[in-house]
Each structure stands twice: as C-alpha cells, then as structure tokens.
Amino acid sequence: MSEQRPPLPPFTAGTAAQKVRAAEDGWNSRDPQKVSLAYTADSRWRNRSEFLNGREEIVAFLTRKWATEEEYRLTKELWAFTDNRIAVRFAYEWRNGSGQWFRSYGNENWEFAENGLMRLRIASINDLAIAEADRLYHWPLGTRRPDDHPGLSALGL
C-alpha cells in the first residue's frame, strides 16, 4: 500500500474529527477526481439507491451529481468512531436547474483501510425543499467552509 491518507486508523476522537473535516473540505471543492483519491481503488459505495465500485464509478457519479446539484455546499459532523470506522451526519444545500433550493440531510458510515483510504461508504440521504431565504450556507462556492462558520449542531440541524 503505497498510497496513504492520514490520519490513519485506529482513530481517536481528534483524528476522527480531522478525517471528517478533510472529507467535508474535499467534497466542497466539487472536484470529482480529487475527491476520488480519498477512496481505495476498489472502494464500494451505497449512495441512496445507487451502488458504486471503484474510483472510476465514483468520479462519474460525482461529476453527474455536481452537474445537477448546483451551488452545492456541505457541512459534516462526527457522530461516532471505532478503530477503523467513522459515522458522520451531514447537511448540504443546493439548487436544481429550475431554481428550487434544497437542504439534504443524511448519515454516512465509513470504513477505512490501514492506509487511511476509505474502502466502504454507506450513505442515507433525504431532501427537503427550502426557500432561498432559508439557506444557511453562503461561503464562496468550491471553497472550504470558513473555520468560524457554525457547524450542524450550532445551526440546530
């Protein structure tokens, strides 16, 4: 295993939180190729009702996702962890091609290989239509959530 993505398992509360923030930052970049490198070459996903295998399918999925989920901004929060597993909850905001805004809520279960790459991702997600005035995420598109921006718990989500 020449690829490594620190922090490596086994996780502590601190390193699990670092892993969650790194994942959030990657997804907020909206760069499918960059994001795919956080996963093993043979990573398996369940995302809603889609089942993906490997980086090529991950890149195709994320390319499709961010082409339709415009103005995508995401916040993740650590829920629980063990040696090589992390559970997170998240919310992201986006709008569709018709201009309708949504906040999507969900939970993910992650399992990591010894090199710190994610080998399994199971995501359950629900979408809620919101008014544009109810948006909570306004940082510049494609950038990291500012450190002083409230997280999920502080926002009551």
Please state the domain extents for the chain: 13-132+150-155
pLDDT given for residue 127 in this prediction: 98
Interatomic CA distance for residues 42 and 1, integer angstroms: 13
Q: Which helix (H) or strand (E) holds 57?
A: helix 54-68
- Asked if 35 contacts 114 with a C-beta cutoff of 8 angstroms, the reply is no
pLDDT at residue number 2: 73
- Rounded CA separation 16/6 (Å): 10
Distances (CA, A) of 151 to 106, 115, 132, 137, 147: 14, 28, 19, 10, 9
Q: pLDDT band at 58, cuts 50/70/90?
A: very high
Q: Which pLDDT score is estimated for 1? A: 52
CATH code of the domain made up of 13-132+150-155 = 3.10.450.50
Q: Name the β-bridge partners of 46.
A: 51, 122
Q: Report the predicted TM-score, pTM, of the whole model to 2 decimal places.
A: 0.96
